[in-house]
Structure 1
């Protein structure tokens, strides 16, 4: 598990949501994490040191000094941690954190921390939406901290709205995701990716074209994720509203399949990994009218010719490159994807089916299966950013073989 062996410092402040922290500690410990709990003096009104210590298997500290006069070093606690989780984080504790009001062990430890800090706010709904709270959360984010947003539901006051601390499972998943990303960070340093994205538009006349519904979201997510992991990325996109500002991504805009083919092979010999996620039009009009075609006849016949197969050409010219293709299918999905893997000389192929709700064009989510010549791996429906992480994790695993 990704949290196994990690040192997690949990800071508990004085809110009713503190009772949930027992479940979070239990889950971290069960998965092999080393957990240390500290708490504000007010937190002791809601949970006991004994219960938290029993679950974490460590003494719990709420003061600078122990009963026998020893110093509970906030410096050592801060330097020990791989990550610090403040949960629940009350409005009072949040304000002290961002304004440096260091009057307890939790704030002193926080101000000494060099590790990432994750904040799970919890308060009544009017407090949560108050301008001062919003400003303090913005300040915390500007410090580089991760905010785990409060959830909506019934609050201790009896009101219903946003302010509930995120569930322990949600906080756990955020921490686990952080360590997963840390595991894969910079693993593509020194590698160059070429990624195709979006649709192609094949002109009929100066006004009309043949195209498809691809938004380019999947390809752009892949480009951003590869860049985060240290890669140099060449992104060749058909018409798409998506944008990227990462300096490690060079974006080239094209319109037609022929333009995309030409641009791909400007760079192909120099790349390490190619990912063809573009939805390239299979056919284009044989002739393009120079003027707009007038609506004179009941029927219009357009003769289509086959476009160049960009992915097949990449496979034929492959030397050292690791090549990834995509297959969007509506029937015989797995059979067609495996056929494409073999025919186009790919190292792996990503299958998504239009039969799966939430997958395919324009959606912010996708559901995929990955095939190699010997493996098949299935994934649940996820955001396209998370799908990009899954795909690149798989690419990484293949390159390490």
Structure 2
């Protein structure tokens, strides 16, 4: 007779596996001696009703058993939220804002407590609690306009002085999509005085010009108000630019550092005149933030000596190639022509914020004169200053040339307010500066 083979009971195998899994689980639960990690945002101590709070609780070992958050103001403890997530949850995140009238302005505390699923020792190791103190400020800043009626021309500049009830995070004048920052000058009693140079952009007629002082404090409270002004319309002349093959063949190679494609010289030129021009002008906005918060200039700005005007501010340029219109752009400066490689003086005192090749502007120097006011000198053949140099009025900063998109040796001279080009002629006029700018300063 054959002996029967005894098989190992399958139920025993299952039991061993179950016990093993339970053993591993128990080991993990008893092994976890690290309590949940808790963070409370924001970092700022001063908050407002619009401030977003974020509570994050993490436990990557035994998981989160419960989370509770409360707000403590004076003797009052107010529940914010309470959660009991599933056993496998390793992260809980809650966002919330403060409701108006729940607590008064002033100091308060947010306390968050959490416990994980750890059993070691008897659950005491898996508890954590943190508190963070804040100050609630729900009142928007008050704005006091200090200047009388501002007379401003389309394409031109203006200045408004105003005071605020507190030192704020952001202040300035909003004109459509453009923002002109204001700069704090001093504190007078309980008020903070700000100066703001702003523009009525060349592309904004009086009917569309609606400037507003806008401010935001550290708690996120915002306020805005208008101010008295008189806007004057200006008409800008039309100009025609005829493109030649010789001009494009000479000009385009200088832009090989940009992505202008591999098309014909005309296609590459149009890419420069549009894509690169847009990029360069966007950079002017960023450079406009690199400014002193005080006035650096003194008196009227000086002009390139013995130079004739070759193009005016805001000329509406149509570009033609072989008799066909191929492009349209606005010329946002004044072209001044003298002798070849004429010495270029700094228009006024200031600090050099840029001295390098700048796309369509070629070799270019930009000088900051404070409060967002900057002058631009383009198409230079050579540069005699460097970034961060202090310059005086009349100091030679370079020589005229044909770099960039220049048809001949000349200086493209621009005046820029916080990245927006404005009419340079105003700043050459000492009477205009006195009547429209310095007379409004406190």
TM-score (ref. length: structure 1): 0.24
- Return the structure number with greater relative CO, CA threshold 8 A, min gap 6: 2
Structure possessing the higher radius of gyration over alpha carbons: 2
Q: Which has the higher helix share?
A: 1
